[in-house]
Chain A
Amino acid sequence: MAADVSVDRTYTVDTEDVFLSVTVGEGQFGLSDVRLGTQKLVRATGPITVRIGHGPDIAGQKLVVMSVVNDVNTHTNRMSVSYRLTGGKTSDAFVANGTVANEGGVLVFQANITLQ
């Protein structure tokens, strides 16, 4: 199954360690799963920050961030997942947005980040 909301991104590493922060917004609840290639780095709820690896070691690999977001907020059906990458040539931050059609719905967000 393809994710409900997908984002493709390229991030240029440097000589430092690369970190990723993921935040599920809009007051909604979510669980995020972060994988580097076939290696599972973390699966957790709430805002997470994870060390992806040393820049030269992870260059050329694919970072996949999957977030399962639930509509638990009585005020809005909006959903968003914010991503922030640091430690590369520059910092990068982006947001994926979505909206559930029905109350209590679920969306699966997936960010596919190519590290170069």
Chain B
Amino acid sequence: MRQPALLLAAALASQAVAATAQTITIDDLRAPTSPAFVLLDVTPSSVERPENPKSFAVNVINKLTSRSGFPQNYALEVAPYWLMSHPDLTFERYQNPGIGQSIAQTLSFSIATTPLQVATTTAASSTSTSVGTRLGAGVSVNVWNGQPNPKIEPLINDLVKIDSDIADDVISEQERPDDRTAPIKTAADKARATDTALQIQQIDAQRLGFLLTIAAGQVWNYPGDVVETAQTDRRGIWVTPAYRFRVCGDDLSCDAFVDAIGVVRALHDPGKTMMWDVGGRFLWQPNKELSVSVETLRRHGAASTPDSSRTVGMLEYRMTADTSLYATFGQDFAKAVGNQPLVSLMGVNVGFGNKATVRAQ
């Protein structure tokens, strides 16, 4: 019997792709950092950068492989707040949310799958084979969501003028329906408004100042992809405080950012005592396309290997509006057998869609 959780995930995934058939055109594609991926140890970074969730987001790490019809290394993230209508949510409140509103806007749930690997070591070699599926489920919320980027303000001022022109255009069209030039002017002003709104969307994803994210998750193993064999695996909870600032002060043409991100993470593996990861990440984004970061974490706890730490560098480059390439290289936490594996991961993050599509009423 196929496990219902996986079927649910597949159904949700197909629903998400169907519901978000629009192409991503905004700039906030990032390497996958959903809590489910973090616990499954397949995320390129162990210290996630605070992000605002999409109503639906699908992340693919490495590649999609279909084994028995279900893709591996796959994550789906859902932000329930944005699946419902909020007629009372003004632009001002959306941009400057209190703690309660921030929690509502950024609460997201994620599920992810990876192959369940079993290592076989002989005198000559060590091989790893897949014997099932690991399923991770996570929740994430930005308790404190920073401040709007000041670059939004001049764009809003532009939009006020353009909207006023559109209102005049429409009134003019209604008063003089025989004027054939009026619709052309309306269309041109609407195109200007769209261009400005897209710039605002882009900057909307670049919030500054202090951000505080809390995330938690649980992993289950399904040997043989059989539901009856489900085993509870790792679970964890972590807090990620971050401070983001522009490196060029008040220069509004500047797109360079620096993120200083910390993390405190409690992890529990079945039959072992709690482990604690403490560390941080320093991220430099010199322009819209490129980001470079270094992270280091120290693992403490009776269940961890002594002197266990992880230090990796990561490079992320956005190739197109809907595709980003990332690469991670460094040293991972020491394994129980004593070796400290190399982290070497390259991948492409492809956006399938970012917004739920709803019918006009």
Contact = CB atoms under 8 A, between A and B. Distances in A.
Contacts, number: 153
A108 B89 contact: no
A98 B360 contact: yes
Interface in B263-289: none
Interface in A1-27: 1-3, 5, 23-27
Interface stretch (B6-14, B127-135, B197-205, B221-229): B197-205
A78 interface: yes
Nearest to A5: B360
Interface string B9-22: 00000000000001
Pick from A24, A77, A78 the residue with the most CB of B within 10 Å: A78
B163 A31 contact: yes
A44 B204 CA distance: 22
B358 A104 contact: no
Nearest to A82: B87
B163 A68 contact: yes
Contact of A46 (B52, B91, B174): B91
B197 A1 contact: no
Range for the number of chain A residues in contact with chain B: 35 or more
Contacts of A82: 87-88
Main secondary structure of the interface of B (DSSP, over half): helix
Range for the number of chain B residues in contact with chain A: 35 or more
Pick from A24, A70, A99 the residue with the most CB of B within 10 Å: A70
A76 B55 contact: yes
Given A5-B360, A70-B163, A77-B355, A104 B194 contact: yes
Contact of B26 (A1, A33, A97, A103): A103
A74 interface: yes
A80 B358 CA distance: 12
B197 A25 contact: no
Given A1-B173, A71-B197, A72-B201, A45 B160 contact: yes
Contacts of A81: 87
Nearest to A31: B163
Contacts of B354: 74
A25 B197 CA distance: 16
A44 to B, nearest CB: 9
Contacts of A77: 22, 355-358
B86 A26 contact: yes
B314 to A, nearest CB: 24
Interface string A85-116: 00000000001011100111110101000000
B164 A43 contact: yes
B316 to A, nearest CB: 19
Interface of B: 22, 25-26, 28, 52-55, 79, 81-82, 85-95, 105, 156, 159-160, 163-164, 166-167, 169-171, 173-174, 182-183, 186, 190, 193-198, 200-201, 204-205, 354-361
Q: Which 7 residue pairs of A and B lie closest in terms of their CB atoms, listed nearest first?
A: A27-B94, A25-B87, A104-B198, A104-B197, A31-B163, A1-B173, A68-B163
16 contacts: A25-B90, A27-B89, A31-B163, A43-B164, A66-B170, A68-B167, A72-B91, A72-B197, A74-B204, A75-B52, A76-B82, A82-B87, A98-B361, A103-B25, A104-B193, A104-B198
